[in-house]
Homo-oligomer: A and B are copies of this chain.
Amino acid sequence: MGTKVKGSPDTEYRYFLKEEEMTSFTLRTTARCEMIDITERLAALVKESGIRNGNCLVFVPHTTAAVTINENADPDVPRVILAVLDRIVPLADRYRHAEGNAAAHIKASLFGASQTVFIESGRLVLGTWQAVFFCEFDGPRTRRVQVGLTAG
């Protein structure tokens, strides 16, 4: 990260070319469908980066997983979300493609592959009840989460 770099114009030039940091981490899911709160891992990356203000972009490089923002205060919420999603996506056998995970693909597009959260004063700007969840729709698997931190 370049926020501490200062000096000649050339140095600053390099700074801005390195304005964004992309990093990633893996996680192991343990069920077919699962929502895993990754807020603390993201907050740790923000802290480590030294970025005070900017954005945090979270991207899931998978087609049967997603990332969403929802409530974690009540542990019922993620459980209910997964249960209702199973009812929303009406998967008759004729919709199962070779791998049998068509529902997971649809859920991935419904929730989306990325979320962006503001960073202010070195912290993620989330609402009181908000948490960032990695959503597994075809587990258990080892998954990767990409995180881009941009100083604003």
Contact = CB atoms under 8 A, between A and B. Distances in A.
Interface of A: 3, 6, 8-10, 12-13, 15-17, 19-20, 22, 53-55, 57, 59-63, 68-71, 74, 76-77, 80-81, 83-85, 87-91, 95, 97-99, 102-103, 105-106, 108-118, 120, 125-130, 144, 146, 148, 150-152
The copy count of this chain in the complex is 3
B61 A81 contact: no
A118 B116 CA distance: 12
Contact of A90 (B9, B87, B99, B111): B87
Contacts of A55: 20, 57, 148, 150
A16 to B, nearest CB: 6
Contact of A95 (B84, B148, B152): B84
Nearest to A3: B17
Given A88-B90, A111-B112, 11 more contacts: A22-B125, A61-B125, A61-B128, A63-B77, A68-B112, A69-B108, A76-B102, A80-B106, A81-B106, A81-B109, A109-B111
